A = this chain, B = another copy of it.
Amino acid sequence: MTFPLCLFALFLMSLLVVGTVALDTVKTPFGEVEEVLGGSATYFSIAASYFTEVRLVTVVGEDFPQEHIQLLGRHGVDLKGLQQEKGRTFRWKGQYDYNLNEARTLDTQLNVLQSFKPQIPEEYKKVDYVFLANIDPDLQREVLHQIERPKLVACDTMNFWIQNKPDALKRTLKEVDILIINDGETRQLAQEPNIVKAARKILALGPNTLIIKRGEYGVLMFKRRGRGEEFSSRAPGLPLPHSSVFAAPAYPLEFVFDPTGAGDSFAGGFMGYLSKVDRIDEQTIRQAIVFGSTVASFNVEDFSLRRLDKLTNEELLARFREFKALVDFDQIR
Protein backbone atom coordinates (compact mmCIF):
# COMPACT_ATOMS: atom_id res chain seq x y z
CA MET A 1 0.00 0.00 0.00
CA THR A 2 1.42 3.34 -0.95
CA PHE A 3 -1.16 5.56 0.71
CA PRO A 4 -0.42 6.98 4.13
CA LEU A 5 -2.02 5.00 6.90
CA CYS A 6 -2.27 8.05 9.10
CA LEU A 7 -5.22 10.00 7.81
CA PHE A 8 -4.42 13.15 9.67
CA ALA A 9 -1.63 15.47 8.72
CA LEU A 10 -0.74 18.74 10.39
CA PHE A 11 -1.16 20.80 7.27
CA LEU A 12 -4.57 20.37 5.68
CA MET A 13 -5.61 21.50 2.24
CA SER A 14 -8.90 23.32 2.24
CA LEU A 15 -12.07 21.77 0.84
CA LEU A 16 -15.14 23.85 0.03
CA VAL A 17 -18.59 22.37 -0.45
CA VAL A 18 -21.69 24.20 -1.64
CA GLY A 19 -24.98 22.35 -1.36
CA THR A 20 -28.07 21.70 0.67
CA VAL A 21 -28.84 21.06 4.30
CA ALA A 22 -32.24 19.48 4.83
CA LEU A 23 -34.62 18.01 7.31
CA ASP A 24 -35.46 14.56 5.95
CA THR A 25 -38.40 12.28 6.59
CA VAL A 26 -37.47 8.82 5.38
CA LYS A 27 -39.18 5.45 5.34
CA THR A 28 -37.39 2.22 4.50
CA PRO A 29 -38.44 -1.40 5.04
CA PHE A 30 -36.43 -1.26 8.27
CA GLY A 31 -37.93 1.77 9.94
CA GLU A 32 -38.75 5.43 9.55
CA VAL A 33 -37.47 8.73 10.84
CA GLU A 34 -39.02 12.20 10.83
CA GLU A 35 -37.33 15.54 10.23
CA VAL A 36 -33.82 14.24 10.81
CA LEU A 37 -30.64 15.92 9.63
CA GLY A 38 -30.05 15.43 5.91
CA GLY A 39 -29.02 17.26 2.75
CA SER A 40 -26.24 16.76 0.21
CA ALA A 41 -23.77 19.16 1.82
CA THR A 42 -24.36 17.70 5.26
CA TYR A 43 -23.54 14.13 4.21
CA PHE A 44 -20.62 15.42 2.17
CA SER A 45 -19.19 17.50 5.03
CA ILE A 46 -19.34 14.87 7.74
CA ALA A 47 -17.88 12.24 5.36
CA ALA A 48 -15.05 14.56 4.31
CA SER A 49 -14.39 15.62 7.90
CA TYR A 50 -12.62 12.28 8.48
CA PHE A 51 -9.91 13.43 6.08
CA THR A 52 -9.70 17.20 5.97
CA GLU A 53 -11.11 20.53 7.08
CA VAL A 54 -14.40 21.29 5.37
CA ARG A 55 -15.79 24.72 4.61
CA LEU A 56 -19.55 24.56 4.18
CA VAL A 57 -21.65 27.03 2.19
CA THR A 58 -25.37 26.40 2.49
CA VAL A 59 -28.64 27.84 3.74
CA VAL A 60 -30.94 26.84 6.59
CA GLY A 61 -34.12 28.37 8.01
CA GLU A 62 -34.89 29.86 11.40
CA ASP A 63 -36.24 26.50 12.52
CA PHE A 64 -32.95 24.67 12.03
CA PRO A 65 -32.19 22.83 15.28
CA GLN A 66 -29.12 23.93 17.21
CA GLU A 67 -28.11 20.30 17.83
CA HIS A 68 -27.44 19.85 14.10
CA ILE A 69 -25.16 22.88 14.08
CA GLN A 70 -23.37 21.34 17.02
CA LEU A 71 -22.96 18.03 15.20
CA LEU A 72 -21.33 19.79 12.26
CA GLY A 73 -19.13 21.80 14.60
CA ARG A 74 -18.08 18.67 16.48
CA HIS A 75 -16.67 17.33 13.20
CA GLY A 76 -14.65 20.48 12.67
CA VAL A 77 -16.81 21.76 9.80
CA ASP A 78 -16.21 25.47 9.26
CA LEU A 79 -19.64 27.12 9.37
CA LYS A 80 -18.80 30.70 8.35
CA GLY A 81 -20.61 30.00 5.08
CA LEU A 82 -23.78 28.64 6.68
CA GLN A 83 -26.46 31.25 5.94
CA GLN A 84 -29.45 31.27 8.27
CA GLU A 85 -32.41 32.92 6.52
CA LYS A 86 -35.97 33.87 7.44
CA GLY A 87 -38.31 30.98 6.84
CA ARG A 88 -38.24 27.22 7.11
CA THR A 89 -35.39 24.84 6.33
CA PHE A 90 -35.51 22.76 3.12
CA ARG A 91 -37.46 19.53 3.65
CA TRP A 92 -37.39 16.23 1.77
CA LYS A 93 -39.60 13.21 2.27
CA GLY A 94 -38.80 9.90 0.61
CA GLN A 95 -39.38 6.20 0.71
CA TYR A 96 -37.43 3.10 -0.30
CA ASP A 97 -38.84 -0.36 -0.87
CA TYR A 98 -36.88 -3.63 -0.61
CA ASN A 99 -34.98 -2.73 -3.74
CA LEU A 100 -32.98 -0.07 -1.93
CA ASN A 101 -31.38 1.26 -5.08
CA GLU A 102 -33.89 4.01 -5.80
CA ALA A 103 -35.71 6.54 -3.61
CA ARG A 104 -39.29 7.52 -4.27
CA THR A 105 -39.70 11.21 -3.44
CA LEU A 106 -42.99 11.78 -1.62
CA ASP A 107 -42.62 15.48 -0.93
CA THR A 108 -40.15 18.32 -1.46
CA GLN A 109 -40.47 21.69 0.28
CA LEU A 110 -37.74 24.01 -0.97
CA ASN A 111 -38.48 26.77 1.58
CA VAL A 112 -35.31 28.90 2.12
CA LEU A 113 -33.57 26.94 -0.64
CA GLN A 114 -35.85 28.61 -3.20
CA SER A 115 -34.01 31.92 -2.97
CA PHE A 116 -30.58 30.52 -2.04
CA LYS A 117 -27.72 32.57 -3.44
CA PRO A 118 -24.43 31.10 -2.28
CA GLN A 119 -22.27 33.79 -0.67
CA ILE A 120 -18.67 32.69 -0.48
CA PRO A 121 -17.00 34.20 2.61
CA GLU A 122 -13.81 36.15 1.89
CA GLU A 123 -11.60 33.62 3.66
CA TYR A 124 -12.97 30.80 1.46
CA LYS A 125 -12.08 32.43 -1.84
CA LYS A 126 -8.63 30.91 -2.06
CA VAL A 127 -9.49 27.25 -1.75
CA ASP A 128 -7.80 24.21 -3.28
CA TYR A 129 -10.59 21.68 -3.63
CA VAL A 130 -14.23 22.45 -4.41
CA PHE A 131 -17.31 20.27 -4.53
CA LEU A 132 -20.50 21.64 -6.03
CA ALA A 133 -23.25 19.39 -4.71
CA ASN A 134 -26.51 18.98 -6.57
CA ILE A 135 -27.98 22.49 -6.93
CA ASP A 136 -29.03 24.66 -9.89
CA PRO A 137 -26.14 24.58 -12.39
CA ASP A 138 -26.31 28.38 -12.70
CA LEU A 139 -25.64 28.64 -8.97
CA GLN A 140 -22.82 26.12 -9.27
CA ARG A 141 -21.17 28.35 -11.85
CA GLU A 142 -21.76 31.48 -9.75
CA VAL A 143 -19.82 29.85 -6.94
CA LEU A 144 -16.85 29.24 -9.23
CA HIS A 145 -16.94 32.86 -10.39
CA GLN A 146 -16.72 34.10 -6.80
CA ILE A 147 -13.48 32.24 -6.05
CA GLU A 148 -9.95 31.91 -7.42
CA ARG A 149 -9.40 28.95 -9.72
CA PRO A 150 -8.95 25.95 -7.37
CA LYS A 151 -6.72 22.93 -8.00
CA LEU A 152 -9.74 20.74 -8.57
CA VAL A 153 -13.48 21.22 -9.01
CA ALA A 154 -15.94 18.34 -8.84
CA CYS A 155 -19.70 18.51 -9.15
CA ASP A 156 -22.86 16.47 -8.91
CA THR A 157 -26.20 17.05 -10.65
CA MET A 158 -29.54 15.27 -11.08
CA ASN A 159 -32.19 14.30 -13.62
CA PHE A 160 -34.17 17.52 -12.92
CA TRP A 161 -31.33 19.79 -14.15
CA ILE A 162 -30.39 17.47 -17.01
CA GLN A 163 -33.96 17.71 -18.26
CA ASN A 164 -34.81 21.32 -17.45
CA LYS A 165 -31.53 23.22 -17.67
CA PRO A 166 -29.35 21.27 -20.09
CA ASP A 167 -27.59 24.35 -21.48
CA ALA A 168 -26.80 25.81 -18.07
CA LEU A 169 -25.53 22.41 -16.98
CA LYS A 170 -23.29 22.11 -20.03
CA ARG A 171 -21.82 25.55 -19.32
CA THR A 172 -21.05 24.41 -15.77
CA LEU A 173 -19.49 21.16 -17.00
CA LYS A 174 -17.00 23.16 -19.06
CA GLU A 175 -15.59 24.55 -15.80
CA VAL A 176 -15.50 21.28 -13.89
CA ASP A 177 -12.74 18.65 -13.63
CA ILE A 178 -14.72 15.74 -12.21
CA LEU A 179 -18.41 14.93 -12.65
CA ILE A 180 -19.89 12.52 -10.07
CA ILE A 181 -23.34 11.19 -11.05
CA ASN A 182 -25.27 7.92 -11.03
CA ASP A 183 -25.70 5.57 -13.98
CA GLY A 184 -29.23 6.69 -14.83
CA GLU A 185 -28.06 10.31 -14.97
CA THR A 186 -25.08 9.27 -17.09
CA ARG A 187 -27.32 7.66 -19.70
CA GLN A 188 -29.79 10.56 -19.56
CA LEU A 189 -27.13 13.26 -19.92
CA ALA A 190 -25.45 11.48 -22.84
CA GLN A 191 -28.71 10.22 -24.34
CA GLU A 192 -26.98 6.90 -24.82
CA PRO A 193 -27.78 3.52 -23.21
CA ASN A 194 -24.26 2.06 -23.47
CA ILE A 195 -22.28 3.29 -20.48
CA VAL A 196 -18.90 3.37 -22.25
CA LYS A 197 -20.25 5.40 -25.16
CA ALA A 198 -22.11 7.63 -22.70
CA ALA A 199 -18.88 8.24 -20.78
CA ARG A 200 -17.07 9.17 -23.98
CA LYS A 201 -19.76 11.74 -24.79
CA ILE A 202 -19.69 13.25 -21.31
CA LEU A 203 -15.90 13.53 -21.23
CA ALA A 204 -16.22 15.57 -24.42
CA LEU A 205 -18.38 18.09 -22.55
CA GLY A 206 -15.56 19.29 -20.33
CA PRO A 207 -14.75 17.12 -17.30
CA ASN A 208 -11.56 15.08 -17.57
CA THR A 209 -12.99 12.48 -15.19
CA LEU A 210 -16.45 10.92 -14.90
CA ILE A 211 -17.32 8.96 -11.80
CA ILE A 212 -20.47 6.89 -12.13
CA LYS A 213 -22.20 5.79 -8.93
CA ARG A 214 -24.02 2.47 -9.37
CA GLY A 215 -25.44 1.90 -5.89
CA GLU A 216 -24.95 -1.68 -4.73
CA TYR A 217 -22.88 -2.32 -7.87
CA GLY A 218 -20.15 0.13 -6.92
CA VAL A 219 -18.44 2.82 -8.94
CA LEU A 220 -17.06 3.11 -12.45
CA MET A 221 -14.55 5.82 -13.33
CA PHE A 222 -13.60 7.02 -16.80
CA LYS A 223 -10.63 9.36 -17.05
CA ARG A 224 -9.43 11.19 -20.12
CA ARG A 225 -5.71 11.25 -20.72
CA GLY A 226 -3.68 14.24 -21.66
CA ARG A 227 -3.31 17.78 -20.39
CA GLY A 228 0.06 16.86 -18.92
CA GLU A 229 -1.47 14.66 -16.28
CA GLU A 230 0.39 11.64 -14.98
CA PHE A 231 -0.88 8.39 -16.33
CA SER A 232 -0.09 4.83 -15.74
CA SER A 233 1.71 2.88 -18.40
CA ARG A 234 -0.20 -0.08 -17.00
CA ALA A 235 -3.56 1.60 -17.30
CA PRO A 236 -5.84 -0.56 -19.36
CA GLY A 237 -6.02 -0.13 -23.13
CA LEU A 238 -9.74 -0.18 -22.63
CA PRO A 239 -12.43 0.51 -25.21
CA LEU A 240 -12.39 4.26 -24.73
CA PRO A 241 -9.34 5.49 -26.61
CA HIS A 242 -7.04 7.80 -24.66
CA SER A 243 -8.84 7.02 -21.44
CA SER A 244 -8.49 4.72 -18.55
CA VAL A 245 -11.21 2.97 -16.64
CA PHE A 246 -11.44 1.93 -13.00
CA ALA A 247 -14.11 -0.24 -11.42
CA ALA A 248 -14.67 -0.42 -7.66
CA PRO A 249 -17.30 -2.70 -6.13
CA ALA A 250 -19.62 -1.61 -3.38
CA TYR A 251 -18.91 -3.18 -0.01
CA PRO A 252 -21.34 -6.13 0.31
CA LEU A 253 -23.50 -5.22 3.28
CA GLU A 254 -25.82 -7.51 5.17
CA PHE A 255 -27.70 -4.66 6.76
CA VAL A 256 -28.59 -1.59 4.72
CA PHE A 257 -30.96 0.56 6.72
CA ASP A 258 -31.16 3.75 4.67
CA PRO A 259 -29.41 4.56 1.39
CA THR A 260 -30.08 8.30 1.77
CA GLY A 261 -26.84 10.24 1.46
CA ALA A 262 -24.81 7.35 0.04
CA GLY A 263 -23.83 9.33 -3.05
CA ASP A 264 -23.01 12.48 -1.08
CA SER A 265 -20.99 10.66 1.56
CA PHE A 266 -19.15 8.90 -1.29
CA ALA A 267 -18.31 12.30 -2.75
CA GLY A 268 -17.27 13.56 0.71
CA GLY A 269 -14.90 10.67 1.33
CA PHE A 270 -13.56 10.97 -2.22
CA MET A 271 -12.91 14.73 -2.13
CA GLY A 272 -11.80 14.62 1.49
CA TYR A 273 -9.09 12.11 0.67
CA LEU A 274 -7.88 14.05 -2.41
CA SER A 275 -7.76 17.23 -0.38
CA LYS A 276 -5.94 15.47 2.46
CA VAL A 277 -3.17 13.98 0.32
CA ASP A 278 -3.23 16.94 -2.08
CA ARG A 279 -2.55 14.91 -5.21
CA ILE A 280 -4.77 14.36 -8.24
CA ASP A 281 -2.87 11.75 -10.23
CA GLU A 282 -4.80 8.68 -11.33
CA GLN A 283 -3.53 6.37 -8.59
CA THR A 284 -4.67 8.82 -5.94
CA ILE A 285 -8.05 9.27 -7.60
CA ARG A 286 -8.54 5.49 -7.59
CA GLN A 287 -7.68 5.32 -3.89
CA ALA A 288 -9.99 8.25 -3.22
CA ILE A 289 -12.82 6.36 -4.94
CA VAL A 290 -12.28 3.43 -2.59
CA PHE A 291 -12.18 5.74 0.44
CA GLY A 292 -15.42 7.33 -0.80
CA SER A 293 -16.99 3.90 -1.20
CA THR A 294 -15.81 2.99 2.29
CA VAL A 295 -17.42 6.02 3.94
CA ALA A 296 -20.62 5.51 1.92
CA SER A 297 -20.81 1.89 3.06
CA PHE A 298 -20.86 3.01 6.68
CA ASN A 299 -23.38 5.77 6.00
CA VAL A 300 -26.11 3.39 4.83
CA GLU A 301 -25.88 1.30 8.00
CA ASP A 302 -28.17 3.69 9.87
CA PHE A 303 -30.58 6.56 9.31
CA SER A 304 -29.47 10.16 8.82
CA LEU A 305 -25.91 10.95 9.96
CA ARG A 306 -26.04 8.54 12.90
CA ARG A 307 -23.41 6.11 11.65
CA LEU A 308 -21.05 8.71 10.20
CA ASP A 309 -21.26 10.74 13.39
CA LYS A 310 -19.70 7.93 15.41
CA LEU A 311 -17.35 6.49 12.79
CA THR A 312 -13.73 5.98 13.88
CA ASN A 313 -10.54 6.21 11.84
CA GLU A 314 -9.77 2.61 12.76
CA GLU A 315 -13.07 1.40 11.32
CA LEU A 316 -12.48 3.44 8.18
CA LEU A 317 -9.01 2.05 7.57
CA ALA A 318 -10.01 -1.52 8.39
CA ARG A 319 -12.80 -1.44 5.82
CA PHE A 320 -10.55 0.23 3.24
CA ARG A 321 -8.23 -2.77 3.62
CA GLU A 322 -11.18 -5.12 3.22
CA PHE A 323 -11.92 -3.48 -0.13
CA LYS A 324 -8.44 -4.48 -1.20
CA ALA A 325 -9.08 -8.10 -0.22
CA LEU A 326 -12.49 -7.91 -1.88
CA VAL A 327 -11.05 -7.30 -5.36
CA ASP A 328 -7.63 -8.98 -5.23
CA PHE A 329 -7.14 -11.96 -7.45
CA ASP A 330 -3.42 -12.48 -7.52
CA GLN A 331 -2.16 -11.63 -4.08
CA ILE A 332 -4.75 -12.82 -1.65
CA ARG A 333 -2.31 -14.99 0.34
Residues of B contacting A237 in the complex (Cβ-Cβ under 8 angstroms): 322
Whether B329 and A236, one on each chain, are in contact in the complex, defined by CB atoms closer than 8 angstroms, is no
Shortest Cβ distance from A102 into chain B, in angstroms?
13
Residues of B contacting A234 in the complex (Cβ-Cβ under 8 angstroms): 325, 328, 331-333
Question: Which listed residue, B197, B256, B330, touches A283 by the CB 8 Å rule?
Answer: B330
Shortest Cβ distance from A333 into chain B, in angstroms?
5
New A-B pairs, 4, CB < 8 Å, besides A195-B252, A239-B253: A196-B254, A236-B326, A239-B252, A283-B329
Query: Does any Cβ of B come within 8 Å of A75's Cβ?
Result: no
Whether B256 and A252, one on each chain, are in contact in the complex, defined by CB atoms closer than 8 angstroms, is no
Whether B286 and A332, one on each chain, are in contact in the complex, defined by CB atoms closer than 8 angstroms, is yes
Whether A246 and B322, one on each chain, are in contact in the complex, defined by CB atoms closer than 8 angstroms, is no
What's the Cα separation between A198 and B235 when bound, in Å?
35
Within 8 A of B (CB), among A268-294: 282-283, 286-287, 289-290
**Which of A65-73, A129-137, A211-219 faces chain B?**
A211-219
B-facing mask of A102-126, CB < 8 A → 1, else 0?
Answer: 0000000000000000000000000
Chain A interface mostly: loop
Query: Does any Cβ of B come within 8 Å of A16's Cβ?
Result: no
Whether B254 and A194, one on each chain, are in contact in the complex, defined by CB atoms closer than 8 angstroms, is yes
* Contact sample, A vs B, 28 pairs, CB 8 Å cutoff: A99-B193, A194-B253, A195-B216, A196-B252, A196-B253, A217-B218, A218-B247, A218-B249, A220-B249, A232-B325, A234-B328, A235-B325, A236-B325, A238-B251, A238-B252, A239-B252, A244-B325, A245-B326, A246-B327, A247-B249, A248-B329, A282-B332, A283-B329, A283-B333, A286-B328, A287-B330, A290-B329, A324-B330
Chain A interface: which size bin? 35 or more
What's the Cα separation between A261 and B245 when bound, in Å?
25
Given contacts A252-B238, A254-B239, contact A283 B246 (CB under 8 A): no
Residues of B contacting A11 in the complex (Cβ-Cβ under 8 angstroms): none
Within 8 A of B (CB), among A299-333: 322, 324-333
Query: Does any Cβ of B come within 8 Å of A164's Cβ?
Result: no
Closest to A198 in B: B254
Q: Which of A98, A217, A218 has the most CB of B within 10 A?
A: A217
What's the Cα separation between A196 and B247 when bound, in Å?
20
Whether B254 and A326, one on each chain, are in contact in the complex, defined by CB atoms closer than 8 angstroms, is no
Whether A3 and B330, one on each chain, are in contact in the complex, defined by CB atoms closer than 8 angstroms, is yes
Residues of B contacting A217 in the complex (Cβ-Cβ under 8 angstroms): 214, 217-218
Closest to A3 in B: B330
Query: Does any Cβ of B come within 8 Å of A7's Cβ?
Result: no
Given contacts A333-B232, A333-B283, contact A326 B238 (CB under 8 A): yes
